[in-house]
Structure 1
Amino acid sequence: MATVILVRHGRTTANASGMLAGRMPGVKLDEVGQQQASFAGERMKDLPVHAIVSSPLERCRQTAKAIMQAQRPPLTLVTDKGITECDYGEWQGRQLRDLAKEKLWATVQSQPSAAEFPGGESLAAMQARAVATVRRHDALVESAHGAGGVWVAVSHGDIIKSVLADALGMHLDLFQRLNVDPASISVVRYTGSRPYVLATNTHAGDLSWLAAKPTRKGRGSSRPADAAVGGGAGPSAAP
């Protein structure tokens, strides 16, 4: 299948103040977040991106638009609720320092698969709908552009961590071992045999090396689906 670039939105006023924003409206990128989003776009400016899908929340749409500005020709932004923020229910809008005192906090940290937020959704349900959404869009990109297709999904920290955990074959209970910072970029390449996690939580580096060499027919990818024993030679262009 294709390759997805997972981008967390840039830093927000809520991130900076230690608040769990959840799905609250009006949470926007702060000045640092705007700079982070623009830099994420710069990292992809020499990589042909075939589609960009964003969480409907404003902070993600702002980040997605900054990435789109660096693309030629321009892309059309698609939003999908399947990769929107976790529904934290009654935890939404509260300070993290206060939430850390709740009994549920320990479950979220050590056994996320058993965590369900009061008045919200469970982390297991969050992962299921996020993974299904990413794989659906990935299949659409491959159908339209071949296995060399590259697309961007702009989403949230826990969403991206859950997608990475699935791609790595990790149980959800281990997903807190992953870190996904604001405006960081992670990369997953899906194939018929397995997903390949090419990068996690990166903050710098040109991403043009992700572009596949076209086949003789001018479409598709020269990438093998199997893992190279010994690690292989890597991309022809350094990341």
Structure 2
Amino acid sequence: MRLLLVRHGQTPANVEYLLDTAVPGPGLTELGARQAAALPEALADEDVEALYASTLVRTQYTAAPLAAARGLDVVVRDGLREISAGDLEALRGDAEHGELYLRTAFAWAAGEADLRMPGGESGAEFLARYDAVVAEVAASGAGTVVLVSHGAAIRTWAAARAHNVDVSFAAEHRLANTGVVVLEGSPTDGWKALSWAGAAVGPAGEGGPAGRPVEGVRG
């Protein structure tokens, strides 16, 4: 099956580079709403059969224009929410703690799933909840599915589960708001990343020009 992992549109927290992972979270900025509105055209060539979003409202707002354009319901699943920042949530705006957050998440993808985010979930818990939604999607029989999720969650899960995406690649390639990671495969056979924000992903996670990225900003 074809799996499209889409990061949500821009939020006020993104503008200020804040850790904001709690449910329900903020909505979209004006730019974020425009990014969401651009998704139907950006994914016009994709035969999307199902559409999922997390319990954080920013993903549901991002999915809404695509749902309306394709006549699909948005299936909301908690497993797709952002990696919980735990104790780091209250320390927002601190670059040191933001780096600790990402280092911990990428350590999970590198195999240290027993590590726990300070005051938050472990890698095993995060991967289990995300895997459960992907397994549900695969069992549905849909050929192409969009999962609207979150930057750290997408990068961490892709690095852990796609055989041609390693931690170095995921760490070096931030995913802009409404950026898309396209994968092909199944929970049984494994996953291969085909493109990352519009650039092809090679066997060793090497990028090259391909497709077109969805308009967005970093953060």
Same fold (TM over 0.5): yes
Which structure has greater strand proportion? 2
Instruction: Mark the runs of 5 or more structure 2 residues left unpaired by the alignment.
Output: 200-210, 213-219
- The SS at the match of 1:137 is helix
Superposed, which structure 2 residues align to 1:71-220 within 5 Å? 71=70, 74-96=71-93, 98-100=94-96, 104=100, 107-108=103-104, 111-112=107-108, 113=112, 115-140=115-140, 142=141, 145=142, 149-165=143-159, 166-168=161-163, 175-191=170-186, 193-202=189-198
Aligned residue pair count: 195
SS in structure 2 of the partner of residue 90 of structure 1: helix
Given residue 201 of structure 1, which amino acid in structure 2 is its aligned partner? A
CA contact (8 A) 2:183 2:195 kept: yes
**Deviation per residue, 1:90-131 (Å, 9 max, x gap):** 2115324x1515894585387453642222112343233213
Q: Quick one: distance in 1 between partners of 2:106 and 2:25?
A: 31
Mapped partners of 2:88, 2:60: distance in 1:
23
Unaligned runs of 5+ in 1: 204-237
Deviation by residue 1:150-202 (Cα, 9 ceiling, x = unmatched)? 11100011111122111136566874244222110111111564422111123
For 2:105 and 2:119, how far apart are their aligned partners in 1?
19
In structure 2, distance between residues paired with 1:76 and 1:101: 37
Kept in 2: contact 1:86–1:123 (CA 8 A): no
Q: Is the alpha carbon distance of 1:50 and 1:17 closer, same or farther for their aligned partners in structure 2, counting shifts above 3 Å?
A: same
RMSD: 2.9
Moved more, 17-26 or 7-16: 17-26
Percent identity of paired positions between Structure 1 and Structure 2? 28
TM-score scaled by length of structure 2: 0.76
The alignment's TM-score, normalised by the length of structure 1, stands at 0.70
User: Could you report, residue by residue, the CA deviation over 1:70-108 in whole angstroms, capped at 9, with x for unpaired residues?
Assistant: 22xx00110111111112112115324x15158945853
* Residue of structure 1 equivalent to 2:39: 40
